[in-house]
Structure 1
Amino acid sequence: MISFFLIRLGNTFYGQAMALPNLYSRRKRLSSGDVPDVYTHDKIATTVRISLFKTMNRAIGEAGASGFEVWKCVKEVLLEDLGVYRLTERDGRSEEDVETYFSHTAEIDRALDVIELWHAFLIVEISQDRLTRTYKPMQNAVETINARLKESGIGFAIEDGNIMEKSTEFTHVEMTVPALRVLSEKRFAGANEEFRKAHDAYKVGDYKDCISNCLKAFESVMKSIADEQKWGLDPNATAKALINALLDNDYIPAFMQTQFGSLRTFLESGIPTVRNKTSGHGQGAEPVEVPKALAAYQLHQTAAVIVFLAEL
């Protein structure tokens, strides 16, 4: 009934199809330009959390999965990871406990954990009976969750089952998402793991590790390309040697090298240099502080270069 209702509304959001009902209040906000243009990463309002939980719970039922099993598994992981015996004072049914914890108690990082766990365990439940269960409701729920987070100005989104932080909508849509799509290819499995580690490190504030994994992902992509092209490079080749191979073997066409006269300099002095100066070597007597802005820049630069090289 709800799905039919949403379809009848003909949903639009920022000019695009979306998974939120096109209600009068929403149309009024959009027409007046009352939409957030800066993302927040430190708070999710209770009202938004309640809406998100309803979306997750509805998807379980529509997928034909067991809500009891999904929320039981989510609760068990949370209890063990938090090191507590109960999520709420009442300590009742798993669904009720997780809902109360998610909607009213959990810090933002833990609330995002709940979303990731819901996604992971729902996949497990659906995969156990593909005759009567379907992934489509889960995929629709992900679209709804992302749309609601975006509408509320909350800088996170679910990408391939993981929570990703968004700095701006442009960099997320034009850089991060295409990079993740490219890295999902089997040939880039190693780089995919490293790029995700960079994102995870960024989320928890470990900006040195973020930058270090950016370089690893960058190098892994170039090594995968070199292996495919059978250039016979040393498996331990440095970033500079890999960049030289891309250019010397005309993987990056000569006309592009001429057009972008500083391309070699940019590649050589971009990701590798930032990593070397901030996280690649010993810190010396004074610890090196890596600002969040630099880590974000490095993530975006790495994503852009990965997409550029893959599209060639």
Structure 2
Amino acid sequence: MAIIDIYSKRKKAAELSDQAEIYQYTSLPIQFRRQVIYIWEDAIGTYGSKNIYADIKFKGRPVEPHVNWIWQSIYKSLAKELGLPESSTPNEECMTFFLDPNTHTDNLLDVIELTCLHIERGVPKLPEREITGFGISQKPTDAINELNHRFREHGIGYQYDNGQIIRVDSYFIHAEAVIPALTLISDEGFIGAEQEFRSAHKYYRNQEYEASIVEALKAFESTMKTICDKFSWAYDKTATASKLIEIILKREELVPSYLQNHFSGLRQVLEAGVPTVRNKEAGHGQGTEIRGVPEYLASYILHLTASNIVFLVEAYKAKCRERE
């Protein structure tokens, strides 16, 4: 279903045009929730006993539509994790829970993540008979795109990306650094770095900021180790970030020396950025004091890590082209 640019939305956009981009993370407005439910109806279909398999029997019983299985799987996962009661109408229970003003925002995001996972992975496997019979009118990619548009439209600081709800503190930085970083390491086969970077985001969303910083550094180090592996550059498997930077920038000249001279502070930025903050704030014992990593620091590290990963992978790609 196409998103319509109606008058009230244009007026609201005009009123906000001179303001800084601001996202909130504490609530999902009822209008947004209803729009999400419309996406579910268009992209998954409605649970029910529609007799579209009346002509097919399995061991003498009517065949259960796959759409019903999807809704059963969604609600069963939700009920099991959150301790909700069983239900014979899982899609209605999901909607009731989703529209309940007392449902915590984190749990609302749980529902969105679960439904999006099934839209991405389950709906494409539906038989054509069900797509037609249940009135499924929206392709999975279009549904995810609309959901992310609705997040931005309502100024909600979250996005769904490749299986996870990700918090977006600055949409510009997210779009210019985080998404390119995830795309690059996914496309170029940096699977370890990708998993660790996504893990860092998951910890960040759960307000486990120290763990988020630890995973960010792992992703940064994994990126450099993968580059070394791809070029067969020797390195100690236990090498720290600073040692890896020394190898790929100075010894192996991932970036040509004349560019390193031009960006004289590059190595210092890389060395003094993610690794140093991580070493001081995370990964060591707390002693007698309970240490708290502030949210803004974890956010900074995530974005700095993303920018560094983009730089390194782009440099790797350029080096590959030189060798062709």
TM-score where L is the length of structure 1: 0.86
Partners of 1:135 and 1:219 lie apart in 2 by: 44
Equivalent position of 1:73 in the other structure: 73
Q: Which amino acid aligns with 1:280?
A: G
CA gap of 1:53–1:270, structure 2 versus 1, over 3 A, is same
Q: How does 1:167-246 map to 2 (within 5 A)?
A: 167-185=169-187, 187-246=189-248
Question: Matched residues, percent identical?
Answer: 35
CA gap of 1:182–1:130, structure 2 versus 1, over 3 A, is farther
Q: Which whole-Å deviations, capped at 9, do the CAs of 1:233-273 have from their partners, x for residues lacking one?
A: 12221111100011121102212211111211111111111
Q: Which amino acid aligns with 2:74?
A: V
Q: Which whole-Å deviations, capped at 9, do the CAs of 1:190-233 have from their partners, x for residues lacking one?
A: 01111011001100111000000010000000000011111111
1:126/1:135 contact within 8 Å kept: no
CA gap of 1:36–1:72, structure 2 versus 1, over 3 A, is farther
CA gap of 1:122–1:32, structure 2 versus 1, over 3 A, is closer
Instruction: Give the match's secondary structure for 1:235.
Output: coil
Partners of 1:100 and 1:232 lie apart in 2 by: 57
Deviates more, 1:260-269 or 1:23-32: 23-32
Q: Which amino acid aligns with 2:9?
A: R
Instruction: Give the match's secondary structure for 2:293.
Output: coil
**1:290 maps onto 2:293 in alignment:** yes
**1:26 maps onto 2:28 in alignment:** no
CA gap of 1:285–1:176, structure 2 versus 1, over 3 A, is same
Q: Which amino acid aligns with 2:225?
A: K
Instruction: Give the match's secondary structure for 1:286.
Output: coil
**Structure 2: runs of 5 or more not aligned:** 47-64, 316-324
Q: Which amino acid aligns with 1:214?
A: A
Equivalent position of 1:11 in the other structure: none
CA gap of 1:188–1:131, structure 2 versus 1, over 3 A, is farther
2:159/2:165 contact within 8 Å kept: yes
Equivalent position of 2:98 in the other structure: 102
In angstroms, what is the RMSD of aligned CA positions?
Answer: 2.3
1:218/1:306 contact within 8 Å kept: yes
**1:54 maps onto 2:38 in alignment:** yes
**1:113 maps onto 2:115 in alignment:** no
**Structure 1: runs of 5 or more not aligned:** 7-19
Partners of 1:37 and 1:58 lie apart in 2 by: 30
Equivalent position of 1:278 in the other structure: 281
